[in-house]
Amino acid sequence: MLNIIKDILDKNKCKIRFHWYYDPDFETSEWVNSFSFPVEGYIEPMSVGPIKITQWKWLEIDPIEKRKIGRLIPEKEINHTKEIIDTLKDNEIDSFYDGHLIKIKNLEFNKKLY
């Protein structure tokens, strides 16, 4: 599932943030443009260290790409909502769209493990 989400981000230049369990509480990452898989079983958002794949509770995708045109020209906003939601559905990834952000829950998350 995360490979597909990474492909969506790489293709559409959208932002993502993770909400994960970090003992004794939860943390939410900054909005980032990408994440990587440093070693098997972990993800690493650009602004955070590695997170176990089972530790993240949900992630949000901001489907609006903001493209900088120039210093004096407002950013161009490109809405990728339909394309992202369709890709998630085609890959059977459950998501929720609240009118602004696309939220995906980690079905493997289990706080009792930590």
33: DSSP letter: S
β-pairing verdict for 15-22 and 76-79: unpaired
Phi, psi values for residue 83, rounded to 5°: -60, -45
Domains in the chain: boundaries: 2-113
pLDDT range class, residue 112, cuts 50, 70, 90? low
Which is more confidently placed, 71 or 103?
A: 103
- Which pLDDT value is given to residue 48? 85
Confidence (pTM): 0.88
Element (H, E) at 11: helix 2-12
Helix axes 81-90, 2-12, angle to 10 degrees: 160
